[in-house]
Homo-oligomer: A and B are copies of this chain.
């Protein structure tokens, strides 16, 4: 937790931006696994953490932008819970640690909201991505879960995204701390790399390091000889000589800031000619992307620059052909580089992605689409000093995608399908570092990770 003043200042900025109405931010409940009392490890909502700092379940925060009054709604542990969980800090004491001196029983939140609604006060809420939050908000606002998206506050969403995008020195230190522990993980992986090893043996060492450092993974790691499948969460393969191993991993810092690093290693410690050629393109693409970053540049410029670099690199190898600009505009590079070059990094690995809402159909409406343009890394976003983001170019040879494109002769003016056959079983290479936008350009915070 940071100092009480940190949270007071963050809330003051928000109050000055929003100006009217009441801001309602819900913390998370525990997520049940297979019954109500067997739950996943608790993770607080990042926006709640940002403004209220308390890493505990079953809380809600209210900020009245008119009076400036801030209230934490929650409960002290029931006396019987003390038997089960040991001594617990009182809610009022917890609240005071984040500069809040008014607390109320969570059961009174419904009345608070009801009263505010009667007084025609606007209740500012942001998109939710957990079903517990959905059920709670729907009940508080007396509307059906399907209609909740109509109540999202674009003003609040915009203000939060804007504020959370700029990282303070303390936040940057948190990200650096997460990178340090992640560095240990990659060093260990690098040391143990050998044919015959199973992917899960590396996962086990990563878990050990995270547990010894009393932290958790910031996201489910990818440790795979099939780096071409971008979200591959299996770990059953045995490493074979000549293969590549892609590792994408990171832990949380003490205050829940993420590191997110990818390296691709040759199992037998040296790349073959083909691997070296592709690795060099990815590495060069990353160098150029980082070098291009400066305050004021459009995210699109960085992303498309990387696409261009990859397309040109592959052209030199005979895999692509034709006019690069035309190919990029058409999207031909997406056969090899089907994801974005970057995401924001902070309290979330994909920072503020939660503010896009969750994946149920109620989000598929014009209102939400309209306000989502405020959220995070859109193509038209200008990067600014103290933004923190990943730069993660990759080149993948995805047989399913190659076959699909080839069967319809898609972009055959840009892609040399016959040459591509030599790379069919190549796999994938990605290099990802954590980058801070500075007044001079950009700083690679994870450059020391080999």
Given contacts A214-B236, A230-B84, contact A204 B208 (CB under 8 A): yes
The reply to whether B129 and A131 form a contact with Cβ atoms under 8 Å apart is no
Question: Would you give the shortest CB distance from A102 to chain B, in whole angstroms?
Answer: 24
Question: Would you give the shortest CB distance from A142 to chain B, in whole angstroms?
Answer: 10
Contact residues of A between 209 and 241, Cβ < 8 Å to B: 211-212, 214, 219-220, 226, 229-232, 235-236
Q: Which residues of B contact A229 (CB under 8 A)?
A: 83-86
Q: Which residues of B contact A204 (CB under 8 A)?
A: 207-208, 211-212
The reply to whether B212 and A37 form a contact with Cβ atoms under 8 Å apart is no
The 6 closest A-B pairs by CB, nearest first: A131-B131, A86-B229, A35-B353, A35-B354, A204-B211, A36-B358
User: A24 contacts the other chain (Cβ, under 8 Å)?
Assistant: no
Question: Would you give the shortest CB distance from A250 to chain B, in whole angstroms?
Answer: 12
- Which one of B79, B348, B401 contacts A34 once the chains associate, using CB atoms below 8 Å? B348
1/0 per residue, CB under 8 A from B, across A30-55: the answer is: 01111111101101011000000000
CA distance A277 to B445 in the complex (A): 57
1/0 per residue, CB under 8 A from B, across A187-207: the answer is: 000000000000011011101
User: A132 contacts the other chain (Cβ, under 8 Å)?
Assistant: yes
Contact residues of A between 81 and 136, Cβ < 8 Å to B: 82-87, 129-132, 134-135
User: A169 contacts the other chain (Cβ, under 8 Å)?
Assistant: no
User: A373 contacts the other chain (Cβ, under 8 Å)?
Assistant: no
Q: Which residues of B contact A230 (CB under 8 A)?
A: 83-84
- Which one of B38, B43, B79, B404 contacts A33 once the chains associate, using CB atoms below 8 Å? B43
Q: Which residues of B contact A82 (CB under 8 A)?
A: 400-401
The reply to whether B200 and A212 form a contact with Cβ atoms under 8 Å apart is yes
Q: Which residues of B contact A348 (CB under 8 A)?
A: 34-35, 38
The reply to whether B129 and A35 form a contact with Cβ atoms under 8 Å apart is yes
User: A360 contacts the other chain (Cβ, under 8 Å)?
Assistant: yes
User: A289 contacts the other chain (Cβ, under 8 Å)?
Assistant: no
Give 20 CB contacts A-B under 8 Å.
A35-B348, A36-B359, A38-B348, A38-B350, A41-B220, A83-B230, A84-B231, A85-B231, A86-B226, A86-B229, A87-B400, A130-B131, A135-B145, A138-B145, A200-B211, A200-B212, A200-B214, A203-B211, A204-B207, A211-B235
